Amino acid sequence: PGDPQDIITNDVDIDWSSQDDNPGDPENEDERDEDDDYTATDDADDVPIVGSLDVEKTVDNATATIGDILTYTLTVNVSEGTITNLDIDDTLPTGFIYQANSAVIVNNGDITFAGVNLADLEASGNAVLGAGNVLAIDIASLLNPGGSNGTANTADNLDVDSFQIQYQVLVSNNAVINNGDTETNSADADADGVPPDNDNVADVDIIEPELNITKIATDDTPHYGDIVTYTVRVEHVLPP
């Protein structure tokens, strides 16, 4: 069917010859008219091939506490054909620390990528952590032959298949991360010849241990001269 952003054109040229309304006596060579030549041209409206781009963002744990490692997954659905200049800007919450060299591409089926190290996107320059805690993932070109991920490919429609980008972050001991907070991670995506897909989010609820302090006396009705021992117990407990 072609690639996204391709333009399908359909032009027709017709050439023909015929005689005029008074061809003369065909038996008389002097009266026979020569054939007239004609040409006609027409074209249909151009038809652009519009592909698709859809990103779904998930996290392996919807609750976390300080020191936890979280794995985020971007499931990228792309139409059949060649997709160029795929850019994903993934904004991490403040205090979430990207783990170096953790960005990988998995479950890509038959989809191939030009110049990309699937096992380490940073190593091939396809993942860069920039200002504002934004993880920028840029892929110059990818090819989806169609029929990947167990789906059927037909000649009539652009097939849609997927691959996944995964990476890890550390929930740091930062003053802006507090018990009961909901930390939102948002990813925006665009590519040539397809509509952008923005505001793909995954939320994580922060749970921090709380101190539970209890005090116990060995004798709550002592007499004069008795020795009373107090015990103070301090425990970390997770909130309900």
pLDDT of residue 2 exceeding 90, the answer is no
Task: Choose between 23 and 39: higher pLDDT.
Answer: 39
- Using DSSP bridges, classify how beta strands 134-144 and 194-206 pair: parallel, antiparallel or unpaired: unpaired
What per-residue confidence (pLDDT) applies to 42? 65
State the average pLDDT for the chain. 84
The answer for residues whose C-beta is within 8 angstroms of residue 21's C-beta and 6 or more apart is none
Specify the pTM: 0.72
- Range name among 62-76, 82-96, 207-221 with the lowest pLDDT average: 207-221
Q: One-letter amino acid identity for 69?
A: I
State the sign of the Cα–Cα–Cα–Cα dihedral 146, 151, 153, 156: negative
What number is the average pLDDT over the span 26-55? 63
